[in-house]
Chain A
Amino acid sequence: DTAVSQTPKYLVTQMGNDKSIKCEQNLGHDTMYWYKQDSKKFLKIMFSYNNKELIINETVPNRFSPKSPDKAHLNLHINSLELGDSAVYFCASSQDPLPYEQYFGPGTRLTVT
């Protein structure tokens, strides 16, 4: 069973388009995250949700809008895609909103052309 799953795994799109990435975890965790990993492999937190409530928004452009319909899902919608949005996006979950072991999804490689 996959603990944290993301779809799609690859996404190639043109500038200006709107796209969504879905994330689901079956671990029963209360906290979920979105991270962006750039070409230099630097992993930067974007959003944290605890029990469907946003708890961290790390100065991400408002073109990025997370949505958590329930504790097991955290989706990421991106409007008006830009070249600089090209990266790998990881979803993660953890048992605790305080610093704790995180389980990462396989990542979504987004390429904006």
Chain B
Amino acid sequence: EDKVVQSPLSLVVHEGDTVTLNCSYEVTNFRSLLWYKQEKKAPTFLFMLTSSGIEKKSGRLSSILDKKELSSILNITATQTGDSAIYLCNAGGTSYGKLTFGQGTILTVHP
């Protein structure tokens, strides 16, 4: 059975800090790993990483896929209170429609 594990489960930092969130996966015929941010309502897409696209960056957020270690990190630099959210990672292989989410990391950024 596919498995996705995120760490830490929760993290409290102050504005301006840099954080690194981890996601490890065990997925049959791995194809993609995706990061989402969930504030009060629905998850919103951040990045998708595949074997052919192992690094993505958008503003203060960046993500890297380590195919050897079967893991990914999400970095947020110069954190702001608006970064407070649950960060979700999911991964899937070549089976149609099957995606496994990790437990999520709850990030709290204090002013």
Interface residues of A (CB under 8 A from B): 4, 31, 33, 35, 40-45, 48-50, 55-56, 90, 97-107
Contacts and interface: CB of A to CB of B under 8 A. Distances in A.
B51 to A, nearest CB: 12
Given A41-B106, A90-B42, A56 B96 contact: yes
B20 interface: no
7 contacts: A35-B101, A41-B38, A42-B104, A98-B92, A99-B33, A103-B45, A104-B42
Nearest to B104: A41
Task: Tell me the dominant secondary structure on chain B's binding face.
Answer: strand
Contacts of A41: 38, 86, 103-104, 106
Interface of B: 31-34, 38, 41-45, 48, 86, 88, 90-101, 103-104, 106
Given A98-B32, A98-B92, A101-B48, A43 B101 contact: yes
B96 A104 contact: no
Contacts of A50: 96-97
A99 B104 contact: no
